[in-house]
A and B are shown apart, each in its own frame.
Chain A
Amino acid sequence: MSSAFLLDLAQCIGCEGCVVACNTGNDVPDGAQYIAISEQVRGTFPDLAGGVANHRCYHCADAACVSVCPTGALYRDDGLTRVDASACSGCAYCVGSCPYDVPVMVDGVATKCDGCRDVVSAGGVPWCVETCPSDALRFGPREEIAAEAHARAAAHRGEKYPDAQVYGERQAGGLGVLVVAPEDPETLGLPADPKIPLPTTAWQEVVKPGGFYITSASVLIAGLAGVIARRNHAREMAQLEADHAANAAPTDDNGEVTS
């Protein structure tokens, strides 16, 4: 049983009520903002089209931030991606890893939307959902939210958005925010295939395991070769010692001891 958000961008009026409610309700640290709304105007007058893009944590099931976090400060819970600020080491691995560019560092600690964990566990709904005046946001069991999303997309297609679709069922293992997009999600800043950045992939897949194996192999080789080398060197020193003793005695041209 897991929870999910519904974000209906066909319903969103861009009022930023959710932004304000989130900032105040969650006591978001200065310098951070968990939700950002940007109004889009496309085309040239009089053929204008518009939309409202929503920048927020989409709570990936296969969350890059969670997989790179070395301390478990970022973790999955109830279908969402939570933050335990007290466990954060400030390494900022998550900042560079997020395909949606979500986590930020404030005063050396990573912060982002945690799905209003405290509010929800107390029986409420997240601040953004609570506040939304246009019914663009909902929160509930994932199955119900998915059903609602598809119902809304179908309804929008029947009205004024023929391309309306549900976004987030397959991206990054399934998002904890199911978006009803009135048109191609890409135009609203939602990548069809969210990519984990190259440095994160390089680190997780190549550098970290490779470094571990190379270091282990080096220690192993040094240990084995060291035993052989110590023996060789001891033999060599004994040989030199013997040579000195021999050199101390008078020798002929062939290095043979004559007396």
Chain B
Amino acid sequence: MTETRTRTRVVPEAPPRGAEDEKILRYRPGQRYVHLLVATSFTVLFLSGLPLLWEPLSFLAAGGYSRIIHRVAAVAFMAVPILYFIVDREGAKELLADSFRFDRDDLRWLASMGRYFLGNASDMPPQGRLNAGQKLHHAAVMILSAGVVISGLLLWFWDASLSDSMLAWSLVIHNITMGALVLLLIGHVYFTVVYKAIHSMHTGYIPKSRAQIEHPKWVEEIESKRAANGANEQKTLHREKQPPK
């Protein structure tokens, strides 16, 4: 009995799946391009930093060639937050606000995260637009990125400001924060693969039935906004474009 109730709450009146499944806008184009820029610049930064950590690749670093690439990518990486605020101010503010605010459901979600880790998305405590794991991920990425950027800038302009020991510590901090970001990336890719989530970052849309399972409070929020805005405006609110078939 309890089992049935839980399930009904998680999937309330689930719409038919398949071709007629309604699609909800999850990532606006600006958000997708900013994400692409983060992904690309981070990958380039990782690969161009690797020659200083892994001897077999060290020939790439000789003469400072990988350093030039590293610095170009670093500028792109540092431009991300600025760019995000330019192309999608609301989205950026929403990300900042959501990532550091945890409610009771989030804490309960984190407590049972082991189940989610092993591929069980239903029967988890109901989540909003971001689940608690995503919030933690985003918060950690923001804080660690600040660490990697600050230590990186110190290294870049070291000769003016740093003592030898400060320089050496900056290197260690730069590498530790980058290592932590790589671990987060492994987790990010892991959940993307387990829940086949790449689609929404590619097209921008998520099937409503899917959102219903993992982000029921978000779907609820969207629907109540739609209801408040009236039937005529609903198309412009969350469905600016026709979702791709």
Q: Interface of A with B (CB < 8 Å)?
A: 70-73, 86-93, 95-98, 101, 105, 108-109, 197-200, 202-203, 207-208, 211, 214-215, 218-219, 222, 225-226, 228-234, 236, 240-241, 243-244, 247, 254-255
What is the distance, in angstroms, from B226's C-beta to the closest C-beta of chain A? 23
Chain B residues with CB below 8 A from A93, complex form: 52, 168, 171
Selected from A101, A215, A225, A244, the residue in CB contact (under 8 A) with B183 is: A215
Are B64 and A226 closer than 8 Å at their CB atoms? no
Query: Known contacts being A101-B164, A228-B119, A233-B119, is A88 close to B64, with CB within 8 Å?
Result: yes
Chain A residues with CB below 8 A from B20, complex form: none
Are B168 and A86 closer than 8 Å at their CB atoms? no
- Name the prevailing secondary structure of the A interface residues: helix
Nearest A residue to B164 via CB reads: A96
CA distance A147 to B54 in the complex (A): 42
Selected from B52, B119, B194, the residue in CB contact (under 8 A) with A70 is: B52
CA distance A109 to B53 in the complex (A): 18
CA distance A87 to B59 in the complex (A): 8
CA distance A198 to B165 in the complex (A): 9
What is the distance, in angstroms, from A129's C-beta to the closest C-beta of chain B? 28
Question: Is B190 in the interface zone, CB < 8 Å from A?
Answer: yes
Chain B residues with CB below 8 A from A215, complex form: 179, 182-183, 186
Q: Interface of B with A (CB < 8 Å)?
A: 1, 4, 7, 11, 14, 16-17, 51-53, 55, 58-59, 61-64, 66-67, 117-122, 155, 158-159, 164-165, 167-169, 171-172, 175-176, 179, 182-183, 186-187, 189-190, 193-195, 213
CA distance A254 to B3 in the complex (A): 11
Are A86 and B62 closer than 8 Å at their CB atoms? yes
Chain A residues with CB below 8 A from B158, complex form: 92, 105
Chain B residues with CB below 8 A from A232, complex form: 118-120
9 further contact pairs, Cβ within 8 A, besides A88-B63, A89-B58, A108-B64: A71-B59, A72-B58, A89-B64, A93-B171, A198-B165, A207-B179, A226-B190, A228-B118, A244-B16
Chain B residues with CB below 8 A from A229, complex form: 117-119, 194
CA distance A210 to B198 in the complex (A): 31
CA distance A72 to B57 in the complex (A): 12
Selected from A71, A105, A231, A243, the residue in CB contact (under 8 A) with B7 is: A243
Are A70 and B164 closer than 8 Å at their CB atoms? no
CA distance A211 to B46 in the complex (A): 14
What is the distance, in angstroms, from B181's C-beta to the closest C-beta of chain A? 11
What is the distance, in angstroms, from B124's C-beta to the closest C-beta of chain A? 11
What is the distance, in angstroms, from A15's C-beta to the closest C-beta of chain B? 29
What is the distance, in angstroms, from A197's C-beta to the closest C-beta of chain B? 6
Chain B residues with CB below 8 A from A240, complex form: 11, 14, 122, 213
Nearest B residue to A200 via CB reads: B168
Nearest B residue to A98 via CB reads: B164
CA distance A203 to B190 in the complex (A): 28
Query: Known contacts being A232-B119, A232-B120, is A254 close to B195, with CB within 8 Å?
Result: no
CA distance A202 to B165 in the complex (A): 12
